[in-house]
Amino acid sequence: MAVPIAVLDCDLLLYGRGHRTLDRFKLEDVTDEYLVSTYGFPRQFICYLVDLLGATLSRPTQRSRAISPETQILAALGFYTSGSFQTRMGDAIGISQASMSRCVANVTEALVERASQFIHFPKDEATVQSLKDGFYGLAGMPGVLGVVDCTHVAIKAPNAEDLSYVNRKGLHSLNCLMVCDSRGVLLSAETHWPGSLPDCTVLEQAALTSQFETELHKDGWLLGDSSFLLRTWLMTPLHIPETPAEYRYNMAHSATHNVIERTLRTIRSRFRCLDGSKGTLQYSPEKSSHIILACCVLHNISLQHGLDVWSAPPTGHMEQSEEEYEQMESVDSEACRVRQELLLTHFS
């Protein structure tokens, strides 16, 4: 009985069933320069990922031949950093485009499983104080535990044509809530919010808010821009500064909050699958959210390895926070009191 050619795996047609593991590409056979230019990272970083994810990516499958963890990781890094499943990328490591897609899915889920290991707020007092000191050294803003902002990542229209993902520009997107420290290390990343939600609504519904209202609000706060409402644990700029102290506060706030803007530029510059230059993420909202989170994990790992520096001005088209800032005044009298005390104590 003839087997329809369409059901055969491309790798099977090309390479047969001669090996149980596909190891056609060897890291030791290429230079660091080649690895960085093709996959975005040097050999040491890739080897670390193989050690970190190898056991997960080697899970038993029903397929007669598995793709090695090393090859899966290279395929995923190639997609994250280029935003493309181009044939040349698969040819470089000897797998088909279909297999590339499976590799990206496998590596993405393995990284998402480890997100809490690499993206979290510090809890011990010494590290929290170091966090505050890092921010204070930037522009003299005291008590800062992180800077927060939202950014939009374009995705394809969901199959159900869910209008909740259509943002103000009429594009389908995910609105991602990010917090980072003074070095750009991500402390929180919620990447699943529908693009139609305003930044202030995302924050209101986010796990981050629950964290700060129940656990982390201890003599410190986040800094957010004017798209958020003032809270006791979230300091926003004054809409119309009038006194010298208020001007000094706004200047320090702006200089400190700029860290998250630079961090988002760095992420989309490194991970071109997010910047829109190759089109939108061609996945469901859930899978797209996981890809964004996987890139956030890799961003933090790269900082741990001393690989990342502040990027040049953005070259892609990743959707930034597209709020039309409204003059939102907080009705939280306690939050207003906390900000006023901060003004009097540190900026008068």
pLDDT of residue 29: 78
Report whether pLDDT(175) > 70: yes
User: In this structure, what token pair is assigned to residue 120?
Assistant: 């979290």
Same domain membership, residue 163 and residue 99: no
Query: Exposed e or buried b for every residue in 17-49, given b needs 16+ CB within 10 A?
Result: eeeeebeebeeeeeeeeebbebbbbebebbeeb
Same domain membership, residue 169 and residue 112: no
Distance CA 138, CA 71 (A): 41
Calculate the average pLDDT of the chain: 84
Same domain membership, residue 29 and residue 128: no
pLDDT of residue 274: 93
pLDDT of residue 92: 67
- Nearest-CA neighbor of 321 among 194, 203, 153, 185? 153
Q: What are 120-154's pLDDT values in tens digits?
A: 999 899 999 999 999 999 999 999 999 999 999 99
Same domain membership, residue 267 and residue 128: yes
pLDDT of residue 19: 37
pLDDT of residue 314: 45
pLDDT of residue 23: 52
Burial of 169 (0-12, 13-18, 19+ CB in 10 A): exposed
Q: Which residue has the tokens 């961003």?
A: 299
Same domain membership, residue 235 and residue 149: yes
Lowest-pLDDT choice from 73-87, 246-260, 262-276, 330-344? 73-87
Q: Residue 316 domain-assigned? A: no
pLDDT of residue 84: 77
Same domain membership, residue 250 and residue 151: yes
Q: Are 83 and 154 in contact (CB under 8 A)?
A: no
pLDDT-derived band at 60 (thresholds 50, 70, 90) equals low
Q: Are 260 and 179 in contact (CB under 8 A)?
A: yes
Q: What are 246-293's pLDDT values in tens digits?
A: 999 999 999 999 999 999 999 999 999 998 776 789 899 999 999 999
Same domain membership, residue 273 and residue 144: yes
Same domain membership, residue 178 and residue 210: yes
Report whether pLDDT(27) > 80: no
Report whether pLDDT(177) > 70: yes
Q: Long-range contact list for 11-16, CB < 8 A, 24+ apart? A: 11/65, 11/95, 11/96, 11/99, 12/65, 14/96, 15/94
Q: Residue 8 domain-assigned? A: no
Distance CA 229, CA 218 (A): 19
Measure CA 13 to chain center. Answer: 37
Domain coverage including residue 223: 119-283+329-347
- Side chain identity at residue 197, one-letter code: L
Q: Residue 255 domain-assigned? A: yes
Same domain membership, residue 267 and residue 148: yes
Same domain membership, residue 77 and residue 90: yes
Q: Residue 307 domain-assigned? A: no
pLDDT of residue 277: 74
Q: What are 196-227's pLDDT values in tens digits?
A: 999 999 999 999 999 998 875 667 999 999 99
Q: Are 257 and 225 in contact (CB under 8 A)?
A: yes
Lowest-pLDDT choice from 19-33, 124-138, 178-192? 19-33
Residue 5 host element (H or E): none
Q: Residue 313 domain-assigned? A: no
pLDDT of residue 242: 94
Same domain membership, residue 251 and residue 233: yes
Cβ-proximal residues to 210 (8 Å cutoff; 6+ apart), any chain: none
The pLDDT > 70 percentage for the chain reads 80
pLDDT of residue 18: 37
Same domain membership, residue 138 and residue 279: yes
Query: Considering its fold, how many domains does the chain have in total?
Result: 2
